[in-house]
Amino acid sequence: MIKIKRLCLSIGLVSALLFSHSANAESNLEYHEVASTVMMNSLQTQPPNSFLKKLYTQLFFVPVWMSENAPSPAAKALFNHIKNDDTLNKNGKLYQDVLRLEGKVEDVYRYHGKLVEKVDLEFKVSQLYKAYTDYAYLGSINWGAFQARISNLIVNGVSTEWILHRPQANAIAMVGEAALGADLGKELQNATPRQYHYRELQKKVAKYREIKADGGWPTVPLRGTLKPGKRAEAVLSLRERLIVTRDYVPCDESAEGTVYDKCLQEAVKHFQLRNGLKDDGEVGPITLAVLNKSVEERIETMLLNLDRIKWLNVPHSKRHIIINIPDFMLYFEEDGKLMQSIRTIVGTPKNPTPIFSETVKTIVLNPQWNIPKSIIQNEMIPKLLRNPNAMSKQRIEIFNGWGKDAVKINPASVNWSKYRYSKNMPYRFAQTAGTHNALGKVKFLFPNKFSVYMHDTPTKHLFAKDKRAFSHGCIRLQQPRELLETFSTFNDNIDFEKSQEILKGKKKAYLALQNRVPVDIIYLTSWVDYDGKLQFRNDVYNYDKMQLKSFRKW
């Protein structure tokens, strides 16, 4: 199959050269033949895995950017596409490189440059193309360095992981299509990610670059807490600050003076909601710190999250569950539209929820909690050493094994100090089913190596908090029964009313899903929501900080 594709590409390239410019076909073909020989000889010393060697071997050493009398349509499309990429720093090296190289290409034709000069520029444009496609489709995060930092966390007792999904864009294949006559600009545009509102976030970056070019926004010089009705000079800069980011909408009843009026309060609440803050309308130290983040910081955060999206799983199913850790929320999509949103509790910084993708396959009603070894050793055994009956208060039973025939034991009969740091834990700790159970009444299983799942919880009061990183790594749901009902609408074997009856008791029941749903646990501190609003969240696990340490500058 590969040989057939290469043969077709070879025939297509020859045909393109013969018929794309009929008036100069013979001259153009002769140029390409000579240029190909020069290119082949020049690349002989290149390593087999170098981009230039792989690219031109695929193209049979036919030049793709430089023709006899003018740059190719592909070259023009590449230059235009890069210049129109509003996410690029216009003062950065990559953007400046395209301007310089475009000028050199124009000069070589204006002054009838030699073939060797055109071949040199051919290679330089390919190197520019490689740099740009790396930027656009692979991004600026040094994932190797980041994974090393995560490994260091694991060594220090924090178990975490970030599973990557390599971007699907194929830079060499796109050039091959362009050599056969395809519009490279469209190829590059079509390869741009769409998932997780990527393109909408790109547009927000462009807007924030415009804000930066206009001077950014003012710092709000506030001391203490600004409450409704108060008068302060800082109100003037606060209003101006929120006008720039379009949080503030002028009101007829506002005098727009130094009084913190209702119109400005609504703008502050809007800002607070977009930033994951308590929307009380008061400007205290926390809200003020977020208000006074610079436009440069915000652009950096957006670019970082664009690059994270590139390496996330690309959903292809009708239904999709997204759990965004910094947002402490679950979103249920159907055909890309939001159908349901649920508050969540995620892992603490010491027990972070991993970033990965799986599929919800089973729902368990009235689950029993088999407590993991790490929690037994770190939390349960210290309690047992102080009080042998400590587990009874939490209705946790202890068995002499993990099999079905395991027998319940008296905890006072065991020397628990032997197992505090043991590699093996022969005893199973199980919390009985019921509303007291740490898993609550409903559990959603998506089998994975982390033993992470979604579940109900008896600690409902924690959902009232804005920052909800309290679990050992699993995802607690504020409305598990509502999610169960959603699953019942497209799984005929799930009778929601019957499930409600089962949940009144304590008997465990397994519901295997006929129509399974992919779930992606992600980590985005900036994104565009379903209403088109730009969102920012706190870096709960310090992953922003880690990744920005080795973030590539273009």
Whether residue 506 sits in one domain with residue 459? yes
Whether residue 381 sits in one domain with residue 273? no
The whole-number pLDDT of residue 24 equals: 55
Nearest of 195, 173, 181 to residue 129 by alpha carbon: 173
Amino acid residing at 425? M
Tens of pLDDT along 415-437? 998 888 888 888 888 888 888 88
The whole-number pLDDT of residue 372 equals: 81
b/e per residue, 514-530, with b = 16+ CB within 10 A? eebbbbbbbbbbbbbbe
Mean pLDDT confidence for 320-344: 97
In a domain, 553, yes or no: no
The whole-number pLDDT of residue 155 equals: 58
Mean pLDDT confidence for 19-37: 69
Whether residue 389 sits in one domain with residue 341? no
The whole-number pLDDT of residue 23 equals: 47
- Cα of 60 vs its chain's centroid, Å: 38
Nearest of 342, 87, 302 to residue 196 by alpha carbon: 302
In a domain, 534, yes or no: no
Alpha-carbon torsion 364, 365, 370, 374, what sign? positive
Instruction: Quote the DSSP letter at residue 552.
Output: P
* pLDDT at residue 25 tops 80: no
The whole-number pLDDT of residue 356 equals: 96
Instruction: Confirm if 505 and 499 have CB atoms less than 8 A apart.
Output: no
Q: What is the CATH number of the domain that holds 270?
A: 1.10.101
What is the domain range of residue 378?
Answer: 372-431
In terms of phi and psi (left: phi > 0; alpha: psi -120 to 50; beta: otherwise), the region of 397 is beta
Residue matched to tokens 């590969």: 2
* pLDDT at residue 6 tops 90: no
CA 313 vs CA 13, 165, 355: distances in Å:
35, 6, 10
Residue matched to tokens 């947002």: 327
CA distance 119 to 116: 5
End-to-end Cα spacing for the chain: 38
Tens of pLDDT along 150-177? 887 775 556 789 999 999 999 999 999 9
Whether residue 486 sits in one domain with residue 450? yes
In a domain, 303, yes or no: no
CA distance 185 to 77: 5
Band of residue 254 on the pLDDT scale cut at 50, 70, 90 = confident
Amino acid residing at 370? N
Instruction: Confirm if 316 and 263 have CB atoms less than 8 A apart.
Output: no
**Helix, strand counts (H, E) of the chain:** 19, 14
501: tokens are: 């009856």
Whether residue 388 sits in one domain with residue 508? no
Whether residue 247 sits in one domain with residue 104? no
Mean pLDDT confidence for 347-367: 95
Nearest of 502, 526, 538, 182 to residue 365 by alpha carbon: 502
* pLDDT at residue 8 tops 60: no
CB-count exposure of residue 223 (10 Å: 0-12, 13-18, 19+)? exposed
CA distance 386 to 395: 17
Instruction: Confirm if 163 and 355 have CB atoms less than 8 A apart.
Output: yes
| Other Cβ atoms closer than 10 A to 81 | 18
* pLDDT at residue 478 tops 60: yes
* pLDDT at residue 253 tops 60: yes
Mean pLDDT confidence for 23-36: 74
Whether residue 136 sits in one domain with residue 285? no
Percent of the chain at pLDDT exceeding 90? 73
* pLDDT at residue 2 tops 80: no
In a domain, 147, yes or no: no
Tens of pLDDT along 226-250? 999 999 999 999 999 999 999 998 8
Lowest mean pLDDT among 208-217, 342-351, 352-361, 390-399: 390-399
* pLDDT at residue 143 tops 60: yes
CA distance 322 to 329: 8
* pLDDT at residue 1 tops 70: no
In a domain, 202, yes or no: no
Instruction: Confirm if 330 and 321 have CB atoms less than 8 A apart.
Output: yes
The whole-number pLDDT of residue 4 equals: 44
The set of residues, in sequence order, having a beta carbon less than 8 Å from that of 515 and lying 6+ positions away, is 319, 490, 491
Whether residue 241 sits in one domain with residue 380? no
Tens of pLDDT along 295-307? 999 999 999 999 9
Band of residue 7 on the pLDDT scale cut at 50, 70, 90 = very low
Report the DSSP beta bridge partners of residue 527: 535
Band of residue 19 on the pLDDT scale cut at 50, 70, 90 = very low
Nearest of 72, 70, 36, 76 to residue 56 by alpha carbon: 36
The whole-number pLDDT of residue 250 equals: 87
The whole-number pLDDT of residue 5 equals: 46
CA distance 244 to 136: 28
Whether residue 127 sits in one domain with residue 183? yes
Mean pLDDT confidence for 107-126: 93
Lowest mean pLDDT among 12-16, 205-209, 467-471, 482-486: 12-16
Band of residue 397 on the pLDDT scale cut at 50, 70, 90 = confident
* pLDDT at residue 15 tops 70: no
* pLDDT at residue 20 tops 60: no
In a domain, 538, yes or no: no
CA distance 33 to 313: 43
The whole-number pLDDT of residue 158 equals: 63
* pLDDT at residue 275 tops 80: yes
Pairing of strands 337-347, 396-399: unpaired
Count of domains forming the chain? 4
CA distance 367 to 510: 9
Residue that finishes a domain, picked among 386, 411, 431: 431
Whether residue 192 sits in one domain with residue 49? yes
Whether residue 441 sits in one domain with residue 416? no
Give the three-class secondary structure for 238.
Answer: helix
Whether residue 247 sits in one domain with residue 187? no
Amino acid residing at 423? K
Tens of pLDDT along 181-228? 899 999 999 999 999 999 999 999 999 999 999 999 999 999 999 999
